[in-house]
């Protein structure tokens, strides 16, 4: 093994020599050989398929693999597709409801379990709330299916779209909960003391101090819940009844048919929604840091 000579990092001199025009790398303590290349390759690998998908959605031709010039006709087709409308509407109904409910519920739960003296059952409550994160989707899917089948057959209860909304709400809760909890933990405790010192009752202190400062966390939680519900496939596919097609299910159905660039267009629209929400949550996070 290389001798321990009295210079930091015996592998440095070679690098200094071979990259004469960039001596800084030799002295850059953070440098690890090859890591940059791997990182760039990963980035390329992650984006290549979706970029190809997006690019081919703008083809004017009929083929999904042969470029036929630039055009947006497939977006027009997709947008005019009745099924697409219906699926979009269904998705929005489910997702918006699930987001609102899960965010409200998660906010309350975060307030109860964060920055507080321990109360009996607190750890158990935390585990229950985060349970959906620890169960693989397929298991949640079939369990929910069994549950609703039982409700329907034995108790004759069927909530219709409500079934899906309830299931979505369940797995949205932890996604909304964690950012809110994180934001709450970051908050300055003395602000609430100052409010109390200035004659604010606990409720007023919450309304005028805690809640406004918590809003970035609540927004981030809501954004996450929205995306997770919007994108869900596995659970939705197994629990959905007839006529309850969401956008991901609709796209899946289209893969069974002969492939046309319409599927690219629809997929790219979905990707666009995700990008919008990620950007939103980034902007919110940045503003909060001020």
Partner 1 sequence: MADIAAVEARGVVKVFGGGQDAVRALDNVSVAIRQNEFFTLLGPSGCGKTTLLRLIAGFEQPSAGEILLNGKPVEHLPPYQRAVNTVFQSYALFPHMTVAQNISFGLEMRGTPKEKTAGVVEEMLGLVKLSGLGGRKPTQLSGGQQQRVALARALANHPEVLLLDEPLSALDLKLRQEMRSELKNLQRTTGITFIFVTHDQEEALTMSDRIAVMSKGQIQQLGAAIDIYERPVNRFVADFIGDTNFVEAAVAGREGDYLRCRSAGGLDLLASPASNAGAGTKVTLAVRPEKITLKRNGDTGTVAQSVYVGTDTNYDVRLADNMRLNVRVQNAVDGRPQFAVGDKVGIDVPAGATRLLQD
Partner 2 sequence: MAAADIPAPTERLVKAQALVRKRWLKSRYGLVAPAIVIVGVFGILPLMIMVIYSFLKAGDYGGVQWIGSVEAYVSFLFQRDIFDGTLSFSSDYLEIYIRSILLAVMTTVFCLALGFPTAYFMATRPLSQRTAWVFLITIPFWSNLLVRTLAVMLIIRDEGVVNDVLRWFGLIDKPIIMLYTDFAVMLGLLYSFLPFMVLPIYASLEKMDFRLVEAGFDLYATRGRVLRRIIIPLAKPGIVAGCLLVFIPAIGAYVTPLILGGGKHLMIGALIALQFGSSRNWPLGSAQALILMAGVLVALLFYVRSSTGKAQTLHG
Binding-site member from 156, 190, 255, 256 for partner 2 (CB under 8 A) = 255
Residues 6+ apart with CB under 8 A from 150: none
Kindly report the three-state secondary structure assignment for every residue of 207-271: HHHHHHHHHHHHHHHHHHHHHHHHHCCHHHHHHCCCCCCCHHHHHHHHHHCCCCHHHHHHHHHHH
| Partner that binds at residue 277, options partner 2, partner 1, none, CB closer than 5 to 8 Å by kind | partner 2
Question: DSSP class of residue 210?
Answer: I
- Residue in 271, 256, 99 with CA at minimum distance from that of residue 171: 99
d(CA 106, CA 95): 16
Q: How far is CA 125 from the centre of its chain?
A: 23
d(CA 254, CA 269): 15
- Determine if 139 is a binding residue for partner 1 (CB under 8 A): no
| Partner that binds at residue 276, options partner 1, partner 2, none, CB closer than 5 to 8 Å by kind | none
- Write out the binding residues for partner 1, residues 174-233 only, by CB under 8 A: 188, 190-191, 193-201, 204, 208-209, 212-213
Binding mask 2-21 for partner 1 (x = CB under 8 A): --------------------
Q: How far is the CB of 202 from partner 1 (least distance, A)?
A: 8
Binding mask 121-160 for partner 2 (x = CB under 8 A): -x--x--xx-xx-xxxxxxxxxxxxxx-xx--x-------
The CA distances from residue 82 to 78, 120, 284, in Å, are: 9, 53, 35
| Partner that binds at residue 48, options partner 2, partner 1, none, CB closer than 5 to 8 Å by kind | partner 2
- Residue in 47, 71, 77 with CA at minimum distance from that of residue 58: 71
Binding mask 208-237 for partner 2 (x = CB under 8 A): ----------------x--x--xx-xx---
Binding-site member from 20, 21, 24, 32 for partner 2 (CB under 8 A) = 32
Binding-site member from 48, 60, 92, 157 for partner 2 (CB under 8 A) = 48
- Write out the binding residues for partner 2, residues 59-78 only, by CB under 8 A: 64-65
Start-to-end C-alpha separation, the chain: 50
d(CA 125, CA 174): 12
| Partner that binds at residue 44, options partner 2, partner 1, none, CB closer than 5 to 8 Å by kind | none
- Determine if 31 is a binding residue for partner 2 (CB under 8 A): yes
Q: Which two tokens stand for residue 121?
A: 């059952």
Residues making contact with partner 1 (CB under 8 A): 188, 190-191, 193-201, 204, 208-209, 212-213, 290
């Amino acid at each position: 093994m290389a001798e321990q000579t009295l210079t930091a990092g015996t592998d440095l001199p070679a690098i200094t020599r071979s990259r004469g025009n960039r001596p800084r790398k030799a002295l850059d303590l953070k440098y690890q050989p090859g890591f940059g290349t791997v990182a760039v390759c990963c980035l390329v690998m992650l984006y290549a398929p979706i970029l190809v998908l997006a690019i081919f959605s703008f083809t004017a031709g009929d083929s999904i693999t042969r470029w036929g010039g630039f055009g947006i006709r497939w977006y027009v087709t997709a947008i005019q597709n009745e099924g697409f409308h219906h699926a979009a509407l269904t998705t929005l109904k489910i997702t918006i409801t699930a987001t609102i409910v899960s965010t409200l519920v998660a906010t309350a739960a975060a307030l109860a379990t964060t920055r507080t003296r321990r109360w009996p059952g607190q750890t158990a409550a935390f585990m229950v709330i985060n349970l959906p994160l620890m169960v693989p989707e397929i298991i949640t899917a079939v369990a929910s299916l069994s549950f609703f089948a039982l409700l329907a057959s034995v108790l004759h209860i069927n909530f219709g779209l409500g079934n899906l909304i309830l299931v979505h709400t369940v797995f949205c809760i932890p996604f909304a909960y964690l950012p809110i909890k994180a934001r709450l933990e970051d908050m300055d405790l003395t602000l609430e003391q100052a409010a109390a010192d200035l004659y604010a009752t606990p409720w007023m202190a919450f309304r005028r101090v805690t809640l406004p400062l918590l809003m970035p966390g609540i927004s981030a939680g809501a954004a996450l819940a929205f995306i997770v519900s919007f994108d869900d496939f596995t659970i939705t596919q197994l629990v959905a009844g007839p006529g309850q097609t969401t956008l991901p299910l609709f796209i899946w159905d289209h893969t069974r048919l002969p492939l046309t660039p319409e599927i690219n267009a629809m997929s790219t629209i979905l990707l666009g929604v995700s990008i919008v929400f990620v950007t939103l949550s980034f902007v919110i996070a940045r503003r909060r840091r001020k």
